[in-house]
Homo-oligomer: A and B are copies of this chain.
Amino acid sequence: MQLLLATTNDGKIRELRKLFEGLDIEVLSLKDLEDKIEVEEDRQTFLENAIKKAKEYALYYNMPVIAEDSGLVIDALNGYPGVYSARFYNIEFGGKFDIEGLSKDEKNIQKVLKLMENERNRSARYVSVVVFYSPEGFGIFSEGVCEGEITDKPIGNMGFGYDPIFKPLGFDRTMAQLTVEEKNKISHRGKAFYKLKEKLTKLFS
Q: What are 7 A-B residue pairs whose CB atoms fall within 8 Å in the complex?
A: A136-B195, A137-B144, A137-B192, A138-B143, A139-B142, A141-B141, A199-B203
Decide if B140 touches A140 in the complex (CB within 8 Å).
yes
What number of A residues sit within 8 Å (CB to CB) of B?
21
**A120 at interface by CB-CB < 8 Å:** no
**A167 at interface by CB-CB < 8 Å:** no
Q: Least Cβ distance of A94 to chain B in Å?
A: 27
Would you list which residues of chain A between 45 and 73 have a CB under 8 Å from chain B?
A: 47-48, 51, 55
Would you list which residues of chain A between 108 and 138 have a CB under 8 Å from chain B?
A: 136-138
**A153 at interface by CB-CB < 8 Å:** no
Which residue numbers of A lie inside 8 Å of B, CB to CB? Answer: 43, 47-48, 51, 55, 136-145, 192, 195-196, 199, 202-203
Note all chain B residues with C-beta closer than 8 A to A136. 195
Decide if A138 touches B137 in the complex (CB within 8 Å).
no
The residue on B at minimum CB distance from A43 is B48
Decide if A138 touches B47 in the complex (CB within 8 Å).
no
Decide if A141 touches B138 in the complex (CB within 8 Å).
yes
Q: Least Cβ distance of A133 to chain B in Å?
A: 9
Note all chain B residues with C-beta closer than 8 A to A142. 137-139
Known: A137-B143, A140-B141, A202-B203. 18 other contacts (CB 8 A): A43-B48, A48-B51, A137-B144, A137-B145, A137-B192, A138-B140, A138-B141, A138-B142, A138-B195, A138-B199, A139-B140, A139-B142, A140-B140, A140-B199, A141-B141, A199-B203, A202-B202, A203-B203
The residue on B at minimum CB distance from A127 is B137
Decide if B47 touches A55 in the complex (CB within 8 Å).
yes
Q: A47 CA to B143 CA in the complex, in Å?
A: 17
The residue on B at minimum CB distance from A132 is B140
Q: Least Cβ distance of A171 to chain B in Å?
A: 22
The residue on B at minimum CB distance from A142 is B138
Q: A177 CA to B145 CA in the complex, in Å?
A: 49
- Complex A-B, nearest 10 residue pairs according to Cβ-Cβ distance, in ascending order: A137-B143, A138-B142, A139-B141, A140-B140, A202-B203, A48-B48, A138-B195, A202-B202, A199-B203, A137-B142
